[in-house]
Structure 1
Amino acid sequence: MTNFKEQIINNKFSLVVSLPDNRIDFARAAIDGGAQAIKLHLNLLHRASGNSFGNLDKNKEFLKELIDLAGEIPVGVVPGAQDAFITEEELIILEEMGIGFFSSYIHHLPPFMMDSKRLTKMVAIDNSYDAALIKAIKSSPIDVLEGSIIPGESYGTPLSYSDLLRYGSLALESGKPLLIPSQKKIKPKEVKYLYDHGCKAVMIGAVVTGGDDAEKIKKATAEFRNVIEGL
């Protein structure tokens, strides 16, 4: 499996697909569309898709099948949220299964997750971040910063120039490779603006791929990958 951190750093720009549900047909659609990494969820209710995701035990067989299907494509997990999170023992299980990275909001993240020597650490901030936090992140062992800074009430609205300026500031001030999730309804043709403002990756999910159709996921992924290849 390709190292996710190295992929994000070394690629001009990368495409990650966040699965709207833990289904192998959705994963296959994303891979066929050109996804360069796949992310799935455990232990939470996902705001954008409206889906509820079970624990590791419930998803273990799916994870094994997905990792086998993905081959060299990195697979990552959101290990939980405020109400439930994987344990230290389950972290070891994920590492041994071949998971490549984790993604978690910084305010949900148990400190033990940062002890992992195998997983790329992608940590998300929300719209409550401030300059002091960004300064601390710059000197932290976080590998990839996920700029999930759009408030919930603005999910699915068009990308604005204000958003781009905030993303650009985060990329500059944090000193970390910045990934932008599709909380806003980012269009493929707008990827160039993310790139021009210093972002290193986009992660498309339910807001732009749709939540219940594998063909829509494949089509959206292919459209984004085609634009990225043209940067």
Structure 2
Amino acid sequence: MYRPTKLYTALTNGQFPVIVSLARHDLDLAKAALDGGAFALKTHLNAYHRATGTTFGTFEQERPFFEELAKLGCPLLVMAGQETVPSASEMDALADLGFEGFNVYIDHMQPHLLQSRLRPMPALSADSKPEDIQSIAALPGCIIEASIMPFERYRTPMTPADLDRYRAIAAAVGVPVIVPSQLSFTPDDLQDLRQAGIAAPLLGAIVTGNTPASMQAAVAAAVKARN
């Protein structure tokens, strides 16, 4: 149903590609992530980003940035929104720009999103139950984002119990599971996540900081830890 891509191949063959979630729509940040060795970039629409306090606008508002981002030639994902999500025509436009996957919390999924050319990457939440994991995994061609930490745990170290939770999610499904850096992941944590069966880390501002210099250094450390 979905076209084979470099990113999906990397997620399913054990490469553990480093994906970066941009804290703001800043081309210098994006370039710094790629200079550090990031495999793919994730951007946002129609959303308030809790970890950074950034508000992202509609597709029409963000389109100029997306058009510039597409010129960088790397795999692109988009957090499509919360209560508001892109229309079917906007999803087509994102696919035309080269975006290959979209992400929403499962509670915000709308049927037309699953009819688009973008591969679904629904997110679990801190309140998700085992049956939610299975319902997401049943979506053809999906990826799961294990965004399972409550806000009060943001920026805290990963514990053995956290690792066990991530491991259990990966073991329960036959689809790639990526883990966002809601916690303050270290390079050693990333190695542990890989060994636990996680397909990729999704590094955001809690790990990367919000400057091009901090971004490049954090991503380079993550890539080195993976190798």
TM-score range, shorter chain: over 0.9
Report the 3-state secondary structure (helix = DSSP H, G, I; strand = E; otherwise coil) of the residue aligned with 1:129: coil
Q: Is the 8 A contact 2:137 2:144 kept in 1?
A: no
Residue identity opposite 1:81 in structure 2: Q
Of 20-29 and 52-61, the range deviating more from structure 2: 52-61
Measure the CA separation in 2 of the matches of 1:27 and 1:138: 30
Structure 2 unaligned segments of length 5 or more: list them: none
Measure the CA separation in 2 of the matches of 1:188 and 1:227: 5
Measure the CA separation in 1 of the matches of 2:196 and 2:136: 19
Indicate the residue corresponding to 1:176 in structure 2.
175
Deviations along 1:19-59, whole A, 9 cap, x unmatched?
00001001000010100000011111100111111111111
Report the 3-state secondary structure (helix = DSSP H, G, I; strand = E; otherwise coil) of the residue aligned with 1:156: coil
Distance verdict in 2 for CA 1:81–1:62, change over 3 Å: same
Q: Is the 8 A contact 1:30 1:217 kept in 2?
A: yes
Measure the CA separation in 1 of the matches of 2:165 and 2:25: 31
- Asked if residue 77 in structure 1 is aligned to residue 78 in structure 2, the reply is yes
- Asked if residue 64 in structure 1 is aligned to residue 67 in structure 2, the reply is yes
* TM-score of the aligned structures, taking structure 2 as reference length: 0.94
Structure 1 unaligned segments of length 5 or more: list them: none
Q: How many residues align?
A: 224
Of 133-142 and 101-110, the range deviating more from structure 2: 133-142
Distance verdict in 2 for CA 1:133–1:95, change over 3 Å: same
Report the 3-state secondary structure (helix = DSSP H, G, I; strand = E; otherwise coil) of the residue aligned with 1:14: coil
Residue identity opposite 1:77 in structure 2: V
- 1:142 CA displacement: 4.8
Residue identity opposite 2:106 in structure 1: I
Measure the CA separation in 1 of the matches of 2:41 and 2:22: 7
Measure the CA separation in 1 of the matches of 2:204 and 2:40: 12
Indicate the residue corresponding to 1:108 in structure 2.
108
Of 3-12 and 145-154, the range deviating more from structure 2: 3-12
Indicate the residue corresponding to 2:165 in structure 1.
166
Report the 3-state secondary structure (helix = DSSP H, G, I; strand = E; otherwise coil) of the residue aligned with 1:21: coil
Deviations along 1:106-159, whole A, 9 cap, x unmatched?
11121211112x322211101211122223233322521110000111111110
Indicate the residue corresponding to 1:52 in structure 2.
55
- 1:4 CA displacement: 2.6
Measure the CA separation in 2 of the matches of 1:152 and 1:19: 19
Measure the CA separation in 2 of the matches of 1:135 and 1:31: 33
Report the 3-state secondary structure (helix = DSSP H, G, I; strand = E; otherwise coil) of the residue aligned with 1:17: strand
Measure the CA separation in 2 of the matches of 1:100 and 1:68: 15
Indicate the residue corresponding to 1:92 in structure 2.
92
* TM-score of the aligned structures, taking structure 1 as reference length: 0.92
- Asked if residue 227 in structure 1 is aligned to residue 222 in structure 2, the reply is no
What is the RMSD computed on CA atoms of the aligned residues? 1.4
Q: Is the 8 A contact 1:100 1:119 kept in 2?
A: yes
- Identity level (%): 35
